[in-house]
Copies of this chain bind each other. A is one copy, B any other.
Amino acid sequence: MRSEDLDLLRELPLFQGISDAGFRELTQAAFLQRFPAQVTLINEGEHADFLHVVLEGLVEMFARDRQRESVLTIVQPVSTFILAAVITDEIYLKSARTLVASRILMLPAASVRKVFAEEPSFARAIVAELGFRYREVVRELKNQKLRTGAERLAAWLLGQSHAAGGARELTLPFEKRVLASLLGMTPENLSRAFATLAAYGVTSSGKRVRLDDPDALANLSRPSHFIDEWKNGD
């Protein structure tokens, strides 16, 4: 494992407060793997044996129930995923699959729980992380229950634009069918939602999307501090 990767890890808020000994404990039995796109890393229902960290690439977390499948979140570098399952020593509630070629660091769950039990600062960092993640899911649940498909798309586009420093031209980081599932709709529906948003200045060709009238979009979806995380700090 390269020391730059360790540095990346060390810089995450989650790992900043740990002692060097604790950090070594966590990382000594860790291993790094490269995966091509479309590789399943985790199957929901399996016992949580590793805390995963995306160092590079893109991972989708999804769930299935009978025929249906839905993308729940997209994990970008550098961040961990399935911390809650690891720390509660439970099964995974989501499956994970690489969207593009990715470098994934895997920390043994037992080590994570050991350091968690021994180092109060790690426990506190985990609280901060879990608290934040909890709130993320609550926001997403509200997004799903309170907005229509087109509104969710509008809000998502505005969020992407915000993340890109207010850019009016975006490039979708993944396929539209993934976005559709993330937003809780079918690909056909997403296509029509884009058509609907044309009236609000949204034009798209392939993965390139232009937002010519962000105000109109905002008026449609009313981004809210209470739903859209990116609205904070404005």
Bound: A66/B221 CA distance, A: 10
How many interface residues does chain A have, given as a range?
Answer: 35 or more
Q: Which residues of B contact A91 (CB under 8 A)?
A: 225-226
Q: A126-B127, A144-B184, A145-B184 given. 9 additional CB < 8 A pairs?
A: A63-B146, A70-B142, A72-B138, A72-B141, A84-B131, A84-B134, A88-B128, A93-B142, A120-B123
Binary interface profile of A, 183-205, with partner B (CB < 8 Å = 1, else 0)?
01000000000000000000000
Known contacts: A87-B127, A135-B85. The answer to whether A146 contacts B68 by CB under 8 A is yes
Q: Which residues of B contact A54 (CB under 8 A)?
A: none
Q: Is the pair B226, A45 in contact by a Cβ cutoff of 8 Å? A: yes
Pairs across A and B, CB under 8 Å, 30 listed: A45-B226, A63-B146, A63-B226, A65-B222, A65-B224, A65-B227, A66-B222, A68-B146, A84-B130, A84-B131, A84-B135, A85-B135, A87-B128, A87-B131, A88-B128, A88-B131, A93-B138, A93-B139, A93-B142, A116-B124, A117-B124, A120-B123, A123-B124, A123-B127, A127-B127, A130-B130, A130-B131, A134-B137, A140-B141, A145-B184
Question: Which of A64, A83, A124, A139 has the most chain B CB within a 10 Å cutoff?
Answer: A124
Interface presence of A132 (CB below 8 A): yes
Q: Which residues of B contact A65 (CB under 8 A)?
A: 142, 146-147, 222, 224, 226-227
Q: Which residues of B contact A85 (CB under 8 A)?
A: 135
Q: Is the pair A141, B141 in contact by a Cβ cutoff of 8 Å? A: yes
Interface presence of A44 (CB below 8 A): yes
Q: Which residues of B contact A128 (CB under 8 A)?
A: 87-88
Interface presence of A52 (CB below 8 A): no
